[in-house]
Structure 1
Amino acid sequence: MNLIDLLPSGSHGATPETTYESFLRWVEDRGIGLYPAQDEAVMELVQGNNVILATPTGSGKSLVAVAAHFYSLTRGEVSFYTAPIKALVSEKFFALCDIFGADNVGLITGDSSVNADAPIICCTAEILANMALREGDQADVGTVVMDEFHFYSDPQRGWAWQLPLLELPQSQFLLMSATLGDVTRFEDELTARTGRHTTTVAHAERPIPLHFYYSEQPVQEQVEELLSTRQTPVYIVHFSQLDAIERAQGLLSVAICTREEKERIAELVGGFRFSAGFGKTLNKLVRHGIGVHHAGMLPKYRRLVEQLAQAGLLKVICGTDTLGVGINVPIRTVLITALTKFDGTRMRALNAREFHQIAGRAGRAGFDTAGTVVVQAPEYVIENKKAIEKAVAKFGDDSKKLRQIPKKKAPQGFVSWSDKTFDRLVSATPEPLTSSFKITHAMIMNLLERPGDSFAAARRLLTENHETPTRQRVLQRQALGILRELMATGVVVRRQEPDEYGNMLALTVDLPQNFALNQPLSPFALAAFELLDREAPSYALDVVSIVEATLDDPRQVLSLQEKKARGEAIARMKADGVGYDERMNALDEITYAKPLADLLEENFETYRHGAPWLGDFELAPKSVVRDMYERAMSFTDYVNFYQLARSEGVLLRYLTDAYKALQQTVPQDALREDLEDLVAWLGEMVRQIDSSLLDEWEQLSRGDMPEDHRDEIVPPEPERLTSNERAFRVMVRNEMFRRVQLFADEQEQSLGELDAAAGFDADAWADAMDEYFDEHEDIDDGPGGRGQEYFILTQGRERWTVRQIFKDPAGHKDWGIDAYVDLAASDEAGEAVVTVTRIGRLDG
């Protein structure tokens, strides 16, 4: 039954009683009942009160959120659902479409929207926060549901959770999280600001109680015990992706699944396309009943693990603490391998909120009567205990001999923990949320554009935010500095007479819609395209570099680029006889590639004088798309080259964002055929690797409702690679030109790895190099060498034949590579499958 069908008749006159009864009827029709805490929260909501829902994980907060949206509909108002990550927002969008009907639910993200005028809107917290800044109490926001509200304390993004509380007094609020701590301040302030009573529903009895244990036996033995006592599925939590993968591989020797279960897994994943690299590793693991789950994985792999876990076929999942944010993976036991983590700056102990957020994933409603949380002692403590037990078995209670048993010490810099740390965390309540407010150019300009007394709005925001008085004074000084900058550049001017609201200041520019949300530097990129020479051979790649400079950095990718660049630099310096100290000093200057950095940064400073709202943003020149294209690499080649197997998902998300930005930013008159080829190649490559991110965005951008394939173990196949002829042609050219580059660098081993199966091993390539360089001094492996005149392609129905001509210094064009492309094999692989047939002097 669709919940929209149960709206009380005469919806604007619906009473709390009729609304509650209609919602309860829908719940009962689904064969479930409300827990007492859910019932209390729903009754408070339908009476128009604010609710802070601080109940444990698994206690049905999502169902209460549905009631909030339903009550908003009965009043003819718009309700908003916000969450910290797009994946969770998207998941909730689909769920609410199922409940209320697709016509009544909209989605707004930074780069696309669908049905934005719907009465229920799903969005990230930043979307609503910027709306609150621009429109304040005039915003059409009846109800606000803020999921994972503990992100209020996030140092980078916490401002977006605080702003709606300050700027939307007309709204009813439902704040939800399992780990809020003391919320007295929020309760008092929401009541004062909104004029609505605020109720905190907390300390509800967890539907699935948790039992906590401290383990001093090795992880593998602990897992075997959990398997034997049927306390699976077990999620083994690590605080690094590498540790998670290594743990999973280490468990392959353990009998995880029965033969029947393995056969069922094999049947379900038989049609799943596992790519080379990490895909092969994951394929082996899941067939053994072991999953891996972390943010660096391709979305299709994470989804596969989630679906197999939901089907009860993965007994063990090794992952990171990212599973704590709203992802639906059923777990009975959480095994935490450490009580410390690296937070980007230092190793530190977990706080109570982090611990309970992770532990709360244990226990499956409808499956388990209890959940289990096991925390491992430090490995050196476990090893010492094992050594003592072994010695006691040998020497009995001979204290002298027992004292002689060598004991391991904590590694240098290790932050240790003990059973006392464990006991403290188990009994601790989450720490009170702390404010992370900030002031930016975007905020000041949004406030100035708001109808009404903008000065009063700014003063209220700067004096009534949740920071300490000292910190508020700092923010006030920052705001004055930003305002002076805006006035100095003429973006803000003083009026001769106050306007109807008494404002003496006015904006002289129209802010681009959502400029702070979706690639705020895109207008600069548009202007920077004019700096380029459109006839230059590098024009297409330079356009890509401008766009890449406006994107967020994929830190893991850039870190490994820098590592490789430094390794290669050290090798060169060693070969040149450079001393150690000089090499180490030179390394400080070596980083990842930053094409056009000087040109862009110089012009950005000039541009920013006329667009000072960009003062909060910095350009970030880098080369990922360009680097991949210049190296003529496929996704798999690139992952292998930089050893990115653990960060495939990060790379894919970046490539997807780059494709979106190129599609949205580059105007028609700035396109050139080679640039269009490059964009087509990038889009098709992303789609073939994992189409989920791109397909949904493209459908949403068109205003279509994306197809929902959440229940399918094997995701739908992308269209045949060869059907996108333009993109496929670029892939073939890249495959051929990559061989030219390796040939020019005399990398016969790498060439042999590519073409040994075709009969061209390293020796064959080395012989060809000797012969070529006897005749020619060099070979052009730059942009000039990959020109169209050096690439000849003949299309057939089942295969293409190709010839890549070498650009030699004398222009003879008498050497090259012949090959054919198997179209069916390319469709199957999702990338161009090229087979070399000849290397050497060309005929005719």
Structure 2
Amino acid sequence: DEKQDKASSIVKLIKVIKHQRYDPVIFFSFGRRDCETYAGQCAKLAAEGKIPAFLSEEDVVHVEEIFDNAISCLSEEDRVLKPVVEMKTMLQQGIAVHHSGLLPILKEIIELLFQEGFVKALFATETFAMGVNMPARTVVFTVLQKFDGESKRWIHSGEYTQMSGRAGRRGLDDCGRCILMLGDEMPEEDAKHMLQGKAAPLISSFKLTYYTLLNLLRRMESSGQGMEHVIAKSFQQFQQERNAPELETEVKRLEAEAAGIEVAQEEALREYSTLRAGISEQQRALMATVMLPANCIAYLPPGRIVRVELEREDWGYGVVVSVMRGQTRGVAGSRKAVSAADVAANAWTIDVLLPVVATPEEAV
């Protein structure tokens, strides 16, 4: 089993880290279940004595005291919950789990004990690397691929920098150590981009909407100046102002480049454009002649497939059902000036079967 092999490798790695005194160590995984599985197996082996103990007996007493005092605010029923009991057992071995699915009080306890140096091996997701100043001596990546909601991919340079940056404690360590557990072959280009690439730039996601403006007006007591001050001091405005000189330079460069473009055979292109306009005009005149009843009725027997366009609305293709000479439509009683061609065209009735879909209003 792949996870069993990974857990076995982590156990061996913990032994090396303990022997070389590279602890405390943070193991980064991209799944809550993986964190809990690896931490649980390591804690079990530590309790059985198969892994060197991280904490002394005195440290264990301190951990128990801090943990019990922290959960004293919980009810008796909550104190015996399985996650709480299991976490205490792991913490007694100097091992802990940290991810977004933990109870808030457990996360606070783990962070406190980690800062106090009582957590020597922490199994965490990438959320632990965001915004929490809790460095370790060593960082281990149990996997370098993550699922981003669409597909499985190698982690980006910014993500790697954020997590690996936890290795090395200022004022305590000369350097930080980062260990990568590569289960799959990593392409050279991906590895180079991850290790040497630049982090993604910080871009403001501030969006000015009507809702935002109304909220600002309400908070600023209908003061337009106060609202403008807030917007002017936003990070979005700062970025726009910072990029403005560069954009202006680019606009000037493009304008100069456009002005310097010489169009070959400009006169020939102008003549071609005039000819194309004339062709379009002749095509419209030809179509008007073709559509006269005297010219087209003979070609509209029942069964003929035709394309219907009525009052500039395209109805698509349909099948001619019947053609009859009937009463003029749209002529009698109309205030518009009607030409002889319009009268002739409306003197015929052509029934066409068309595929149509009723709108919700019509369906009701």
**TM-score after normalising by structure 2:** 0.51
Check whether the contact 2:141–2:181 (CA below 8 A) recurs between aligned residues: yes
Measure, in 2, the Cα distance between the counterparts of 1:309 and 1:457.
39
State the identity %.
26
User: What are the residue-to-residue correspondences of 1:344-743 with 2, within 5 Å?
Assistant: 344-378=149-183, 381=184, 417-418=186-187, 421-446=190-215, 449-452=222-225
Residue number among 269, 280, 294 corresponding to 2:64 in the alignment? 269
Contact 1:340/1:350, CA 8 A, preserved across alignment: yes
2:34 aligned with 1:250: no
1:241 aligns with 2:46: no
2:19 to 228, 251, 261: 228
Distance 1:458-1:370 versus aligned 2 partners, 3 A rule: closer
What is the DSSP-based 3-state SS (H/G/I as helix, E as strand, rest coil) of the residue aligned with 2:134?
A: coil
Cα distance in 1 for residues equivalent to 2:191 and 2:54? 38
* Deviation for aligned residue 1:455: 9.5
Map of 2:122 onto structure 1: 317
Aligned with residue 283 of structure 1, among 75, 88, 92: 88
The SS at the match of 2:56 is: helix
Residue type at the aligned position of 1:228: H
Give the whole-Å Cα distance in 2 for the aligned partners of 1:291 and 1:276: 17
SS in 2 for 1:250: helix
**Compared CA separation, residues 220 and 446, structure 1 to 2 (3 A):** same
Q: Give distance in 2, aligned partners of 1:219 and 1:291.
A: 14
Residue of structure 1 equivalent to 2:251: none
Q: How many angstroms does 1:363 deviate by?
A: 0.7
| Maintained 8 Å contact 1:447/1:458 | no
Q: Which amino acid aligns with 1:431?
A: A
CA spacing shift, 1:287–1:457, aligned 2, 3 Å: closer
* Structure 2 gaps, min length 5: 1-5, 72-78, 245-364
5 Å-filtered alignment, 1:6-21, equals none
1:77-109 CA-to-partner distances (Å, cap 9, x unmatched) read xxxxxxxxxxxxxxxxxxxxxxxxxxxxxxxxx
Aligned to 2:145: 340
Matches of 1:459 and 1:365, distance apart in 2: 37
| CA 454–331 in structure 1, closer or farther in 2 if over 3 Å, else same | closer
Q: For residues 436-475 of structure 1, what are the alpha-carbon distances to aligned partners after superposition, in whole Å with 9 as ceiling and x for unaligned?
A: 34233322324663334989998999x9685899xxxxxx
CA distance in 1, matches of 2:230, 2:99: 42
Within the candidate set 98, 101, 106, 1:301 is matched to 106
Q: Which one-letter code corresponds to 1:227 in the other structure? A: K
Aligned partner of 1:529 in structure 2 is none
Please state how far the C-alpha of 1:375 moved relative to its aligned partner.
1.5
| AA at the equivalent of 1:226 | I
CA distance in 2, matches of 1:346, 1:318: 24
Structure 1 equivalent of residue 9 of structure 2 = 218
CA contact (8 A) 1:244 1:319 kept: yes
Q: Counterparts of 2:41 and 2:189 in 1: how far apart (Å)?
A: 29
Q: Structure 1 stretches of 5 or more lacking a match?
A: 1-214, 382-415, 470-844
| C-alpha distance in 2 between matches for 1:333 and 1:453 | 48
* Residue 307 of structure 1: how far off its partner (Å): 2.7
Name the CA shift for 1:221/1:423 in 2 (closer, same or farther; >3 Å). farther
Aligned to 2:295: none
SS at match of 1:218: helix
Equivalent pair of 1:336/1:374 in contact (CA under 8 Å): yes
Contact (CA 8 Å) 1:238, 1:320: kept in 2 or not? yes
Q: Is the 8 A contact 2:39 2:96 kept in 1?
A: yes
Q: Specify whether residues 423 and 328 from structure 1 end up closer, same or farther in structure 2 by C-alpha distance, changes over 3 A only.
A: same
Aligned amino acid, residue 366 of structure 1: G
| Contact 2:25–2:136, Cα closer than 8 Å, also in 1 | yes
Letter in 2 for 1:438: K
Answer whether contact 1:237 1:336 (CA < 8 A) is retained: yes
Contact 1:234/1:332 (CA < 8 Å) preserved in 2? Answer: yes
CA distance in 2, matches of 1:221, 1:349: 25
**How many angstroms apart in 1 are the aligned matches of 2:173 and 2:96?**
21
Is the Cα contact below 8 Å between 1:353 and 1:429 reproduced in 2?
yes
Compute the RMSD of aligned alpha carbons: 3.6
Residues 458 and 428 of structure 1: is their aligned pair in 2 closer, same or farther, counting only changes over 3 Å?
closer
Conservation of the 8 A alpha-carbon contact between 2:231 and 2:237: no
Conservation of the 8 A alpha-carbon contact between 2:142 and 2:181: yes
Structure with higher RCO (Cα < 8 A, 6+ apart): 2
Q: CA deviation at 1:326?
A: 3.1
Amino acid at match of 1:439: L
User: Aligned partners of 1:223 and 1:258: how far apart in 2?
Assistant: 11
**1:704-783, aligned counterparts within 5 Å?**
none
Q: Secondary structure at the match of 1:248?
A: helix
Partner of 2:338: none
Could you tell me which amino acid in structure 2 is paired with residue 269 of structure 1?
E
Instruction: Decide whether aligned partners of structure 1 residues 325 and 460 sit closer, same or farther in structure 2, where only a CA change above 3 A counts.
Output: closer
Structure 1 residues 265 and 419 mapped into 2: Cα distance closer, same or farther (>3 Å)? Answer: farther
The alignment of Structure 1 onto Structure 2 pairs a total of residues equal to: 217
Residues in 2 aligned to 1:226 and 1:433: alpha-carbon distance in whole angstroms: 35
Query: What is the CA distance between 1:282 and its match in structure 2?
Result: 0.7
- Shift in alpha-carbon separation, 1:321–1:454, aligned structure 2, 3 A: closer
Residue type matched to 2:223 in 1?
R
Going from structure 1 to structure 2, the CA distance change for 1:419 and 1:305 (only over 3 Å counts) comes to: farther
Q: CA deviation at 1:236?
A: 0.3
Cα distance per residue 1:718-756 (max 9 Å; x no partner): xxxxxxxxxxxxxxxxxxxxxxxxxxxxxxxxxxxxxxx
Q: How far did 1:337 drift?
A: 1.8
Matched residues in 1 for 2:84 and 2:35: separation? 15
Aligned partners of 2:54 and 2:94 also within 8 Å: no
1:101-250 map, 5 Å: 218-250=9-41
Structure 1 residue 227 displacement after superposition: 1.8
Cα pair 2:54 2:120 within 8 Å, conserved: no
Alpha-carbon distance in structure 1 between the residues aligned to 2:90 and 2:175: 27
Contact 2:30 2:125 in 1 (8 A): yes
CA contact (8 A) 1:362 1:373 kept: yes
Q: Distance in 1 between matches of 2:211 and 2:130?
A: 28
Deviation at 1:241, TM superposition (A): 1.4
The answer (yes or no) to whether the contact 1:257–1:288 under 8 Å persists in 2 is: no
TM-score normalised by structure 1 residue count: 0.23
TM-aligned CA deviation for residue 267 of structure 1: 4.3
Partner of 1:51: none
- 1:643-671 per-position Cα deviation (integer Å, ceiling 9, x unaligned): xxxxxxxxxxxxxxxxxxxxxxxxxxxxx
- C-alpha distance after superposition, 1:657-706 (max 9, x if no partner): xxxxxxxxxxxxxxxxxxxxxxxxxxxxxxxxxxxxxxxxxxxxxxxxxx
* Cα distance in 1 between the residues matched to 2:232 and 2:136: 48
